Structure 1
Amino acid sequence: MVKTKKLFFSVCWPFLLISAFLSINIHAFSALSREKITIKDSLNRQVEVRVPAQRIICLQPELLRILVALDEGERVLAVDRFPVRYDHLAKIIFPEVSKLPVVSVTGEDANLEKIMELNPDLVLVSPSELNLTQNLSRKLNCPVISLSSSGRIDRLLEEIEILARLTGKEQRGEELKNFLVAGLESLKQKLNRPGLKKPRVYLSFWGSLLRSPVNYQPVELAGGLNLTSQIKPIHQGSDTAVLKLETLLSWNPDLILVHGLYPPEERKITVQQILTDPGLQYLKAVQEKKVFYTFGFWYWWDPALVLVECYYLAWLFHPEEMSGVDLMVEGEKSFKKFYGQEGLFKALCDRIKAHEWFKK
């Protein structure tokens, strides 16, 4: 019996070593056999990546949603805490997110040991976390790409194209881009009336009256003017401006939009609070009760929601031009195109109680 065992190991041992060697090196061989491309990210860095990426760690929720829309959610190995803990939309469009490891908690931190264990061939981060981007780029042996739309449709379209290239889903990416462009062109035609007056709009986002996005293109595409566009963001890679109350009062907006992409119990500032605040009664928007919720972006955009919001804001700003538009129908159409299922937009509206917004 002992001789039989020795004979077995003497014969099989070389094959076991070869098998182990192949197993260890198969990922490296696969990476070397793939095409290398160069991506210019949102921090203007040139980053080389082998495509298609197979093992992705995504620490930027907007990019996670685009990956899901590209049917590539299964390539995501880990995420940051936001989509698991706070993002109610992510759980609707990608329930599997709750099972993924969380390797970043505060936005500027990351569990480097855990990331290295997962052996990614691509890490995606947000330019608003500049230190995180720099630290991971120095310490990891894989490309780190920093991307966000920063409130601009052209950048969102570029993001879709970049992620489609990174995952080898160019055809699907082109399909999604064409859908967005066609929807926006249709909206443009609806608002194509000479002399259409553009309301002066202030956006109150991220749980504060005085925090507002510098870039928020849906306002312009819906036929309005974003007053905060004249202010600089707080730092590079961010789209946030922080105002003084005196600035808001001096602007005296025609209309105020309040960030509503939260369930009511999580909203730190509400339409009713603004309408009843004694210090804001001077404002035209308050006097005329033109203070409304909008979806907004929370840790950047959802690509399916962008088009819906453009239509919704146009409906608020120019109701006559949008009188024949059913916002629920438009929302369902957009979400089905991006995520392939019926009822997703309704599920989001149920969760954040958005149905009431459409009754104005």
Structure 2
Amino acid sequence: MKCVAIGDMFLNEEAFREEINKSGLFDSYQGFTWKGDLDRVATRTLIRKIETEGSEAYPLPEDIFKAVVDADVVFVHLCPIGQEVIQQAKHLQYIVSARGGLENIAVMQAQAKGIHIIHCPAHNAHAVAELTVGLMICETRNVARANYALKQGEWRESYPNSGNIRELRSSRIGIIGFGTIGRLVAELLQPFHTTIFVSDPFVDAKEIQAAGCIPVSKEELLKEADIVTLHGRIGPNDPPIIGKKELASMKSSAYLINTARAVLVDMDALVHSLETHQIMGAAIDVFPKEPLEANDPITKLDNITITNHRGGDTVDSCIRSPELLISYVEEAFKTGKTRYML
């Protein structure tokens, strides 16, 4: 059985090779690096292009294309596996992705050929979930604003939410999207004794209730929640989960948190909503264009906490994914099924 692994600027090929060779699952191994020399700014542009254009965003170099077409199992991180590759693949049985998202893989074409896809939403899930809860506290309790003011020599007493600052335990938190990260956010919030609403049409209501949360529609969640946090996914041509209409339906005292995907929020509508105090505040880690331009209107707002795509930026996020993936592949080989397999 032939295995091909394609590393990149975030997850190098050596990390794949070490775990794959240790497993002894394959007769032959071939490793590549795709766009490994990109700096962080160029990498953000690449990721955004993949997230918006999908698996056809970048053509594969000829040597990688030929190797994938001849492989039985392919391990990837960001490298796209598009329709043409899958159509020409002779023996491909598994595409194994070190990411949670599958934007870089032509999923429908792979499934039509009977190719299994194993992915790894758990690799940075804890990192993103931790940041999400941290941003809830940071924005509602004015942590970043107080820090900035003190460093400017100001003992600031007045904030956009002065007189309306709640503890998490008295807040209603709405989670849109109850996959791996959404569930971890709910788990991390449990010790705060907060009320948690969940909207996810793909998850059974009983499953949500078993996690200690209240299943609701998106419309009800937006109307009732004091803090709305996004952990869903949409397709390349789908409208944002949060747009002008959704923002208008939120409480004037509510906050929006997005540590997931920039495309989930209509950023122009969000800026307008914050400028007009239609909602109380927001905390955003992901943006349509990264890095942010210095004159971006979002940087002028006082009622928002912004971070520069720090969600998965922990040592644990990348180094654990090849090990996790090998355990999934081993299980799939033995039983025909495994966690996170399509």
- Is the shorter-chain TM-score for this pair beyond 0.5, marking a shared fold? no
The higher-RCO structure (CA 8 Å, 6+ apart) is 2
TM-score range, shorter chain: 0.3 to 0.5
Higher-Rg member (1/2)? 1
Which structure is higher in helix share?
1
